[in-house]
Chains A and B, each alone.
Chain A
Amino acid sequence: QVQLKESGPGLVQPSQTLSLTCTVSGLSLTSNSVSWIRQPPGKGLEWMGVIWSNGGTDYNSAIKSRLSISRDTSKSQVFLKMNSLQTEDTAMYFCAKLGVVFDYWGQGVMVTVSS
């Protein structure tokens, strides 16, 4: 059974760095990519970036300068780090395996940027 679960702080201060973890079970990270997607309250979905099965990464150009995605395959974890947070980064953050035929999503973690 494939499961993805996001974890991280619910509240981050403006200008600080957000660190989130996606813990994956039932999938090998060396054979599968994992994406991060976010959704501001009441708004649509924004793809943030992906870490590929070979460890390479691609990022949304709009946030590329602030974003880093990495992984620890031994722990089946994928990490997101985004710096210089602003209030507009307040959102639900999802990790997901977006395969061609199958996809799996985490439940999401709500992150609020506020002082």
Chain B
Amino acid sequence: DVVLTQTPSILSATIGQSVSISCRSSQSLLDSDGNTYLYWFLQRPGQSPQRLIYLVSNLGSGVPNRFSGSGSGTDFTLKISGVEAEDLGVYYCMQATHAPLTFGSGTKLEIK
């Protein structure tokens, strides 16, 4: 199974600060169809996960443009340009290139 390693596991930020989360895969996530099926989710406390980014860098519907995704192959990054209070929660990367679908272990964003 593909292992997704997220760092850091905990991130403490002030309002307005820009932060990045890394997701490294044990295998390339580039599919034979040319797509890279790497996604980012935010799970706010007590809620279901909400998708932020699809196919590495595409912003989900209704997701603020302070969120951005980048990367290729095995290394991916989620950036939040100007953290807001509503961004607190746990961020997960997920890959769907290789079966079974797997999630990263999560990065908890705390607001200072």
Chain A: residues with CB nearer than 8 A to chain B?
Answer: 35, 44-47, 50, 58-61, 94, 96, 98, 100-103, 105-108
CB-defined A-B contacts under 8 Å, sample of 27: A44-B92, A44-B103, A44-B104, A44-B105, A44-B106, A45-B43, A45-B49, A45-B94, A45-B103, A45-B106, A47-B101, A47-B102, A47-B103, A50-B101, A58-B100, A61-B1, A61-B100, A94-B48, A94-B49, A98-B96, A100-B37, A100-B54, A102-B60, A102-B61, A103-B51, A105-B48, A108-B48
Size bracket, chain B contacts = 20 to 34
Q: Are B101 and A98 in contact (CB under 8 A)?
A: yes
A58 touches B99 (CB 8 A): yes
Q: Which residues of B contact A58 (CB under 8 A)?
A: 99-100
Cβ contacts under 8 Å, A94 to chain B: 48-49
Q: A45-B43, A102-B61 are in contact. List 17 more A-B contacts (CB 8 A).
A: A44-B92, A44-B103, A44-B106, A45-B49, A45-B92, A45-B106, A47-B102, A47-B103, A59-B100, A61-B1, A61-B100, A96-B48, A98-B101, A100-B37, A100-B55, A105-B48, A105-B50
Hey, which chain B residues are within 8 Å of A108, CB to CB? 48
Nearest-Cβ distance from residue A59 to partner chain B, whole angstroms: 8
Question: Given A44-B106, A107-B48, is A101 in contact with B99 using a C-beta cutoff of 8 Å?
Answer: no
User: Separation in Å of the B10 CB from the closest CB of chain A?
Assistant: 13
List of A residues within 8 angstroms of B101 by Cβ? 35, 47, 50, 98
B5 to chain A, nearest CB (A): 12
Q: Which residues of B contact A47 (CB under 8 A)?
A: 100-103
Q: State in angstroms the CA–CA spacing of A103 and B48 once bound together.
A: 11
